[in-house]
Amino acid sequence: MKTWQMIKLGLILAIYTTVGCVGLAFVYNSTSKTIAARQAADLQSALRDVFPSATRFTPTDKVVSSSSAVVFQSAYMAEGSSGPLGIAVQVQGSSYGGATVLLVGVSTDGTITGVKVIENKDTPGLGANAANPSYYVDRATKTTFPGQFTGKKVTDPFIVKEDVIPITSATITSRAITNLVRIVGKAASDALGIGTTAQGPKAVLPEADAVRASAKAVSSSAPGVTILETSIGTKAGAIIGAAATAKAKGYDGEITVLVGVSTDGTITGVQVLECTDSLGGSILAPTFAQQFTGKKAGMSLEVGTNVDAVSGATFSSKGATALVKATADALFKALSGGGL
Amino acid sequence: MSDLIKIFIAAFLVNNVILMRFIGLCSYIGMTSDIGQSVGMGLAVTFVTVMASAVTWPIYYWILKPNGLEFLEILVFIVVIAALVQLVEFYLKKSVPTLYHAMGIYLPLITTNCAILAVTFDQITYNYNFVQSVVFALAVSLGYLLAMLLLAGVRRRLRNSPIPSFMMDTPILFLTTSVIAVAFMGFAGLVK
Amino acid sequence: MKRLFTIFLNGLIVENPLFIIMIGLCSALAVTTTVANGIGMGVALTFVLVMSEVIIALFRKLIPNSIRMPIFLVVIASFTTIMDLEMKAYFPALSKSMGVFIPLVVVNCIVMGRVEAYASKQPVLNALFDGLGMGIGYTWVLIALSVVRELLGNGTLLGIQVMPSSFSPMIFFILPPGGFLVFSFWMALSNQLRKKILAGRKPEPTEDSCCTLPDIGSAEKA
């Protein structure tokens, strides 16, 4: 009797559950088409916003993210009647309140054609203003936060509070979005074949009148530091210094720097070429790199004592400083030992 | 490891489930008139949340997702949690009577505690892997316990305080919570 | 007819789910940063509440008492999923801004509480009006909360600028502490109103089985 009762109850419950599941399956089938169609339409209209004159968008896989924390969800080649116009990338990265998704358009001449915030979970009234069409960072010209990127060059520094106006009280959101735009700009311009580092080693060897690639490779003894390319600067034929690009792990991405050292061990110039740390983009500011000029290879360089960190990017500042020091030391050793 | 610590701090303090996300408010107001009671409820929730997280993760990724049944998520999760609570109650009653006496009375209230269900949805939304999900569940529920304890402590003082008559009973509790929440806003930006 | 109307009115003030029975609080505070969200959540909950109450009242004789809880859960979860999918399809922006609080309707104590305390014992028509009353009682509170929060916190109502441009928004009201504060004052206000309405009458004790332990809970109230 008791078993029979149990089976009966189980059956009743099973009937209710089955009816529920079947009903849901029907609703799901009818709504899933609408949801998919709407998402496709939303994407199309966002693509049109960043490339108004494009006639066709074809998916492309040529654009590659340089950071593991930044995901390129999809990328499209925009084509107009007279050939390719540029690339639009739907990019996901993390911001204050979770994932943020943007659509960034980069034209073939290396200009940002538009930034659209597709998804943002930041604080309403603060970070969420990134997606608010009536929140202006510049009230006079009615420029929204993402709107200010339109027309910028991918080679611009993209530093919040310098060339990017932040959202009031939402610095983390502003930095996160700016960082995503910069990474997409760099990746898209690489895919489109536009160089972003125009000056090269000459910029950090101001005294040299000629710069040539070094035949010998220089390596650093510091762990985790990879020296990529070494160049020698000469003046009237005599070697006066050397420059190298070097790479190391930052906080959660990678940092690449270009360091120039003269034969007496003085650092003649530093450029931070790339930083894919999720919030470390601000160390690309020239003011950070300029502090190293005039310092000596071999001396200790430490954030907090003789190097100022960029606020909000202490880890990346420390990483970059250690990298500059390791590179300068290796170059000086190579120069004085005649290893070049 | 560092990402687990980040997840933990973010869920425990920065996005405290009650004070910052308002989830689990009913029991927060209903169960904090007594410190012992709030500890019991908090521990029971911690226990069930971690178990629910560990059970629903494989169900979603091994059963629902491969079969395209994601739309059954809500139905399956709530039924699984209800069944889990029943099982836990049954098991505790038989095998660990002392523990059952300590938290058994809270178990029936737990099925409808939104914090638990919210954790199981969030771990899917945030794409956490299994270990991250369990750490996240632990952090959220300990955050719940912390908030419960804070209010229970304040309530003890409130009992002997002169409160304006129109704010008597529950309104003053929300006012107090507002002040606690202001303090928790200070954790914003701690992670990331 | 008059009786049905009384049932309907009951949910609005006298037994308002948020202010009096104090259930379903999470979503009420979390989504009320904008009026649009408040209305959306109110409508969504009313839909799930009315549908679940009606279906359960209809089948109440076919639900064995010993397994009523799981069956209620299945019914409520089904309607919540339907509402979730429909919102994703037709109001994607609203659905995104409410996030996890839409699926959380399934454990919203208002639904479970009313189904258990009311719909499982009453005829369909009564359940329908109880659902509507409770749903609208919930919705008006959400709108009241969100009007204050959006107006003071953002200077807008339903996204339209209403405050003069010299007004600088007090972001506090949009942040969680502001939610608690606004709710606290609305609740105090509603309690005063209820005292006036019930002057002389002794209110029936309201029961809430899902958030407090029955014995200790009532002991504190008394």
In a domain, B192, yes or no: no
Greater model confidence, C164 or B51: B51
| β-sheet with A226-235: strand ranges across | A210-213, A226-235, A238-249, A254-262, A267-275
Whether C69 and chain B come into contact, CB under 8 Å, resolves to yes
Residues of chain A contacting B189 with CB distance shorter than 8 Å: 96, 172
- Identify the three-state secondary structure at position A294: coil
pLDDT at C204: 55
Tell me the C-alpha to C-alpha distance, in Å, between residue C69 and each of A13, B112, C117. Answer: 10, 11, 12
Query: Quick count: other Cβ atoms within 10 Å of Cβ B61?
Result: 14
Most distant CA pair in chain B, distance: 60
C113 CB contacts (<8 Å, ≥6 apart)?
A: C17, C21, C23, C208, C209, C210
User: Could you tell me which residue, C221 or C54, shows the higher pLDDT?
Assistant: C54
Which pLDDT does position B175 carry in this prediction?
92
| Residue A204 CB contacts under 8 Å (≥ 6 apart), including other chains | A243, A258, A259, A260, A268, A269, A270, A271
CA distance A66 to chain B (A): 19
Report the share of chain C in percent with pLDDT over 70. Answer: 88
**What is the distance, to the nearest Å, from the Cα of residue C57 to the centroid of all Cα atoms in its chain?**
20
Positions in chain A short of pLDDT 70: 1, 97, 123-125, 194-200, 338-340
Q: Which residues of C touch A23 (CB under 8 A)?
A: 78, 82
Average pLDDT, stretch C47-63?
Answer: 90
Nearest CB among A16, A24, A42 relative to C81 is that of A24
Q: How confident is the model at residue C215 (pLDDT cuts 50, 70, 90)?
A: very low
Most B CBs within 10 A among C19, C20, C26, hence the mutation to make, goes to C26
Say which residues have a Cβ less than 8 Å from residue B101's Cβ, sequence separation at least 6: none
Residue with token string 């950090």:
A204
Check CB contact of C74 with chain A, cutoff 8 Å.
yes
Residue C203 has pLDDT above 70, yes or no: no
- Residue for token pair 């600028």: C161
Q: Which of B76, B126, B192 to mutate to test the interface with A (most CBs of A within 10 A)?
A: B192
Which residue is associated with the tokens 């074809």?
A58
Q: Return the partners of chain A (3 or more C-beta pairs < 8 Å).
A: B, C
| Contact criterion met (CB below 8 Å) for A104 and A182 | no
Q: Which residue has the tokens 């509507």?
A: C132
ipTM of the complex as predicted: 0.87
In tens, the pLDDT along C70-121 reads 888 889 999 999 998 888 888 887 887 777 788 888 888 788 888 888 888 8
What whole-number distance in Å separates Cα of residue A244 and Cα of residue C43? 64
For residue A125, list chain C residues with Cβ-Cβ distance below 8 A.
Answer: 33, 153-154, 169, 171, 174-175
Query: For residues C210 and B24, what is the distance between their CA atoms, to the nearest angstrom?
Result: 12
The Cα–Cα gap between C137 and C218 comes to 23
Q: State the pLDDT at residue B14.
A: 84
Contact A20 C175 (CB under 8 A): no
φ/ψ of C187, rounded to 5, equals -65, -45
Q: Determine the Cα–Cα distance for residues B137 and B46; give it in Å rounded to an integer.
A: 8
Phi, psi (5° rounding) for residue B74?
Answer: -60, -50
C115 contacts C86 by C-beta, under 8 angstroms: no
Sort B20 into a burial class: Cβ within 10 Å, 0-12 / 13-18 / 19+. Answer: buried
C8-49 residue pLDDT tens: 877 777 777 777 767 777 778 888 888 888 999 999 999 999
Helix H or strand E segment including C77:
helix C68-90
For chain C, the domains span 2-216
CB neighbourhood size of C147 (10 A): 17
| Contact present, A320 and A288 (Cβ < 8 Å) | yes
- Residues 6+ positions from C164 with CB-CB distance below 8 Å: none
**What distance in Å separates the CA atoms of residue A60 and residue A63, rounded to the nearest whole number?**
7
| pLDDT, tens digit only, all 192 positions of chain B | 778 888 898 889 888 888 888 888 878 888 888 888 888 888 888 988 999 999 999 999 999 988 888 888 888 998 888 888 888 888 888 887 877 776 666 777 777 788 888 899 888 888 888 999 999 999 999 999 999 999 999 998 888 888 888 888 788 999 999 999 999 888 876 765
Interface contact flag, B118 C30, Cβ < 8 Å? no
Assign C221 to helix, strand or coil: helix
Q: Name the 3-class secondary structure at A141.
A: coil
Interface of C with A in 159-218 (CB under 8 A): 161, 169, 171, 174-175
Look-up: residue for tokens 């610590």?
Answer: B5
- C46 close to C105: Cβ distance less than 8 angstroms: no
Distance of CA B80 to the CA centre of its chain: 17
Q: What is the DSSP-derived secondary structure letter of residue C176?
A: H
Give the other-Cβ count within 10 Å of B153's Cβ: 13
B125 within a domain of the structure (yes/no): yes
* CA dist., res. C99 & res. C143, Å (int): 19
Q: Which amino acid is at A167?
A: I
- Is the pLDDT reported for residue C222 higher than 60? no
Inter-chain residue contact B171 with C187, CB threshold 8 Å: yes
Bridge partner residues of A94 (DSSP): A99
Structural domain boundaries of chain A? 56-192, 200-336
CA distance C126 to C60: 13
Which residues, 6+ apart, have CB-to-CB distance to B164 below 8 Å?
none
> Under an 8 A CB cutoff, do A20 and B75 touch?
yes
Nearest CA-CA distance, residue A28 and chain B, Å: 7
Contacts of B75 in chain A (CB under 8 A): 17, 20-21, 24
Question: What total of structural domains would you count in chain B?
Answer: 1
Question: pLDDT band at residue C210, thresholds of 50, 70 and 90?
Answer: low
Residue C186: how many other CB atoms lie within 10 Å: 18
Cα–Cα nearest to A274, from A187, A203, A212, A191: A187
Asked if residues B145 and B54 have their Cβ atoms less than 8 Å apart, the reply is: no
The tokens for C219 are: 């002991």
Q: Which of C78, C89, C174 sits opposite A124 (nearest CB)?
A: C174
Q: Could you say which of C78, C88, C161 has the minimum Cβ distance to residue A31?
A: C88
Q: CB C107 to CB B112 under 8 A?
A: yes
Minimum-distance CB partner of B189 among A17, A25, A172:
A172
By Cβ distance, the residue of C33, C82, C88 closest to A24 is C82
Distance in angstroms (rounded) separating the CA atoms of residues B85 and A183: 47
Q: A142, A189 in Cβ contact below 8 A?
A: no
Of the candidates B33, A42, B53, which has an alpha carbon nearest to the alpha carbon of residue C217? B33
CA-CA-CA-CA dihedral for A235, A241, A244, A250, to nearest 10: -140
CA A166-A169-A174 angle, 5° bins: 35
A259 with A247: CB under 8 angstroms? no
CB contact under 8 A, A169 and C171: yes
**Chain C: closest CA distance from residue B80 (Å):** 10
| Nearest-neighbour CA in chain C from A101: distance (Å) | 13
Q: What is the pLDDT of residue B32?
A: 82
The DSSP result for A1-57, as a single string, is -HHHHHHHHHHHHHHHHHHHHHHHHHHHHHHHHHHHHHHHHHHHHHHHHH-TT-SEE
What is the reported pLDDT for B192? Answer: 55
Q: Does B87 touch chain C (CB under 8 A)?
A: no
- Note the pTM of the prediction, 2 decimals: 0.73
In the structure encoding, which two tokens stand for residue B153, read together? 């402590």
Q: Tell me if A120 sits within 8 A of A95, measured CB to CB.
A: yes
Its domain, for residue B34, covers 2-185
Which pLDDT value is given to residue B143?
94
